[in-house]
Amino acid sequence: MCGRFSLTSPVEAIRQLFGFQESPNLQARYNIAPTTQITAIRLPSDKAASGTELFSAHWGLIPSWAKTPEFSTKMINARSETVAEKPAFRAAFKSRRCLIPSTGFYEWQKLGKTEKQPWLIGLRDAPLFAFAGLWERWKDPQGTSIESCTILTTLAAESIAFIHHRMPVIIDKVNHRQWLEGGSELGLLQPFDSSKMSYHKVSRRVGNVRNDDIDLTVPIESVPSNSQQELF
């Protein structure tokens, strides 16, 4: 699964990779958690427009037929193996795809019955990349609209499977447009190239959503021992 990630690249670097025109004021986020607002990229609603569109979405998909937005807490991830058939995701899979920028994601390795070690995982030669995502627009009875999204997952790349058996789907930059335009490109929803993954242990402070600082991304061997006392 993918339950935490980071996005710390400057806005200009994000714009260059994804080609949007907006000029958002995005602050570095080192510990992005479910049910918060996250940055996503989609095709413009105007079919004649070129490029892409940046937007903000609630992390946790709210299907159009959901009675309340609380449904989203169960929808932060969508399994790529079943996304085309599941009622909560199939409509978005057909026509509402997005890319979710990231500079790394966290997974917890089980060390025993209760002990877990967090790892920060990214790409060796790409400090900024994109998860495959889906988005929806939900309206309450008063007509208030909420845009939400989910991150697709797949089996973990072989090099990181010892940490967790699943990982977010990462879309290579050459396939960004293909993913956004839709269709049945299930071939894109595969584990990323194992040789391109990078990973290192990080502080257990990342387990607390209130912590959001650069120290969370530092390899554990470089973190002062007194900062490791806060358990997950």
> How much of the chain exceeds pLDDT 70, in percent?
93
In CATH terms, is domain 5-228 a member of 1.25.40.340? no
Q: What's the chain look like in SS3?
A: CCCCEEECCCHHHHHHHHCECCCCCCCCEEEECCCCEEEEEECCCCCCCCCEEEEEEEECCCCCCCCCHHHHHHCCEEECCCCCCCCCCHHHHHHCEEEEEECEEEEEEECCCCCEEEEEEEECCECCEEEEEEEEEEECCCCCEEEEEEEEEEECCHHHCCCCCEEECECCHHHHHHHHHCCCCHHHCCCCCHHHEEEEECCHHHHCCCCCCHHHHCCHHHCCHHHHCCCC
Q: Is the dihedral of CA 222, 225, 227, 229 positive or negative?
A: positive
Of 91, 90, 89, 14, the closest CA to residue 53 belongs to 14
Of 184, 65, 87, 77, the closest CA to residue 133 belongs to 77
Active-site annotation holder among 2, 53, 98, 147: 2
107 annotated active-site: yes
Model confidence at 226, pLDDT cuts 50, 70, 90, reads: very low
Whether the per-residue pLDDT at 230 is higher than 70: the answer is no
Model confidence at 183, pLDDT cuts 50, 70, 90, reads: low
Comparing 22-26, 41-45, 156-160, 206-210, the range with the smallest average pLDDT is 22-26
Would you list the domain boundaries of the chain?
5-228
Please provide the size of the chain in residues: 232
Active-site annotation holder among 53, 107, 136, 147: 107
* Average pLDDT of the residues in 130-151: 93
Model confidence at 143, pLDDT cuts 50, 70, 90, reads: confident
pLDDT in tens, 80-104: 999 999 999 999 999 999 999 999 9
The pLDDT value given to residue 223: 47
Comparing 11-20, 112-121, 219-228, the range with the smallest average pLDDT is 219-228
Give pTM, 2 decimals. 0.91
CA-to-CA dists, residue 98 to 41, 94, 131, 148, 206, angstroms: 5, 11, 9, 11, 26
Please say whether the beta carbons of 31 and 6 come within 8 A: yes
Which pair of structure tokens corresponds to residue 127?
Answer: 């400090």
